[in-house]
Amino acid sequence: MGHSRLMSRPSVLGAALVLVATTLALGCARLLDVVNTDQTASELAGQVDSDAARRLLAEILARHSPDPRIAAAAADPRVDGVVEGGDPQTSPLLDQAQLRELARVMSVDFAALTFARALNADARSRAVQAAFELFRRAGPDRSAVALRQPRAFPYTVLFAPSWLYRSHPETGSDFAHQRRLLDQLGIPNRLIASGESDSVEGNAAAIAEAVRASARDGGPVILVSASKSGAEAALALTRLLAPVEAAHVAAWVNIAGALRGTPLADAALRPPASWLTRGVLWLNGWDWAGLASLATEPSRRRLEGARLPETIAVVNVVAVPVSGSVGYQVYAGYQILLFHGPNDGVVLLADTVWPGGVNLVALGADHLFSRGREDAFTLAMLRAVDVAVRLHPAPDPTATAEHDAD
C-alpha cells in the first residue's frame, strides 16, 4: 500500500484509518539484534536503503558494547561517577523538518539512523542505554533476583494504557504481561482506568487523578505510557498536576509516545475518509474525540510551552526502524508517513521524544514492540529506569520556584 499512484485517495486514507484504529498501542514487530555487532556488510545492506545508511548502521552497532562500570553502578547508589562528561560533538536533535530534508538529500534510513545516533549523544543516555543492554544480556533470572532484593526497586508503577486497550488486549496495550510479571516480583503496580477511546484531554484527567491517589500510598512512583497515552501523560504532568502533586513521581517512561499526534489521524479525519472513520467508530462504540485529539495541530497546541517538573526523570523509549525492519502491521502507515520523513509506522520520529529526557533507542523496532512483552526486556527496562532516576540531576531551586509561580 502507498506505492501505487493509481490508488485512490479514499483508499489511502482508509488505510490510514485502519492503522490508527489498530496500531496505536504496543503490539508485535521485529527488532534488530543489536547484541550481534558482527553482521557482514551484505547483511547490513539488506536492512537499509543506501550505502551511506549501511555505513552509519555499522558504526552504531559497533558502539553497542556495554561499559562494565555500569553494572557495578546499578548496585551502588553513588552512580554519579559513571557519567564522565558529555560528548564535545553533541548537537541538538534534528527536528522533523530537518529530518525530512536529510532524508530527501541522503536517504530515509540515513536520516533515521542519524537521529538514533543523536539520541544517545549525551552521557546520561549512553549510561542508561549501556545499563539496559547489560541487564538484558544477563537474562531475566538474574534481573528477577536483583529486583527482589530489599529496597532494590522501591517504586509503585502506574501504567497508562493505550488506545483501544479493552477492545484489543491482544496488542498488549493494557500492559497485562508486564503487570503479571511485576505481581510475581512483588512490585506494586496499577493500571489507570482511562477511557479506551476517550480524548487525550479526558484521559489526562484520569492520569492526573491516579497520580494524586498514588501519593497516599507513600513512596515514589514511575508512570509508564505508550503511544497515545504518552500525550495524555505529558498533558497530566505539565498542565493538570501542580509540581507538589507530582513530587512523588520519580520517572515517566514514554514509550513511542504520540506526543504531537500523527498525520495518520489527520488523514483519517479529512473527507471523504472521515465518512468511513465515523462509521467505523460508531459501529465499534468508539469515541470520535479520541481520534480527533490525535490530530497534529491540536496536539502541538496542547503542549506548546509545556514544562515538566524538574524532579521527574524522563526516559524516552524511541523506536527507530530502518526500511528493512518495518513490520507488516504498520508498513502501510510507514509508507504514507514517508512524505514527512523518518517515522516508526505510526508517529514521526521527532514527535516521540520529550526534550531533555534520557533516551533509550530500540534500534530496528517500529511503533509496535514485540520485545516489550519479553521478560528479559521488561526486567532490564525496570532496572535501567532505576539507573536513570539515580542519574537524574537535582532540580535547580530557582527554576523550581519560577515553575511554581507560573
pLDDT per residue of the chain (406 residues) written in tens, 0 to 9: 233 332 334 444 454 555 555 555 443 344 555 544 455 666 767 889 999 999 998 888 877 654 444 444 444 343 333 333 344 344 578 999 999 999 999 999 999 999 999 999 999 999 999 999 999 999 999 999 999 999 999 999 999 999 888 888 877 889 999 999 999 999 999 999 999 999 999 999 999 999 999 999 889 999 999 999 999 999 999 999 999 999 999 999 999 999 999 999 998 898 888 888 888 888 888 889 999 999 999 999 999 999 999 999 999 999 999 999 888 888 889 999 999 999 999 999 999 999 999 999 998 888 887 655 689 999 999 999 999 999 998 876 555 445 555 5
pLDDT score, position 2: 32
Q: Write the DSSP assignment of 269-323 as a string of letters.
A: HSTTHHHHHHHHHHHHT--HHHHHTTSHHHHHHHHTT----TTPEEEEEEEE--G
Output the pLDDT for position 90. Answer: 46
Element (H, E) at 213: helix 200-214
Q: Tell me which DSSP letter residue 92 carries.
A: P
Q: What is the pLDDT of residue 46?
A: 82
Tell me which H or E stretch contains 257.
none
Residue among 47, 63, 60, 59 at smallest CA distance from 109 = 47
Q: Which residue segments constitute the domains of the chain, with CATH numbers given?
A: 9-80+105-405 (3.40.50.1820)
Within 13 A of 217's CA, how many CA atoms are on the CB side? 18
Q: Cell numbers of 253, please?
A: 517512561
Express each pLDDT in 318-331 by its tens digit. Answer: 999 999 988 888 88
Q: By CB neighbour count within 10 A (0-12 exposed, 13-18 middle, 19+ buried), where does 105 fall? A: exposed
DSSP H or E stretch at residue 54: helix 51-62
Q: At what angle do helices 96-105 and 108-119 cross, to 10 degrees?
A: 140
The pLDDT of residue 27: 38
Q: What is the pLDDT of residue 371?
A: 58
Q: How many other C-beta atoms lie within 10 A of the C-beta of residue 140? A: 17
Given this model, what pLDDT does residue 170 score?
A: 78
* Axis-axis angle for helices 176-185, 375-391 (nearest 10): 70
pTM of the model: 0.86
Place of cell 553497542: 64
The reported pLDDT for the residue numbered 372 is 55
On the 0-12 / 13-18 / 19+ scale of CB atoms within 10 A, 210 is buried
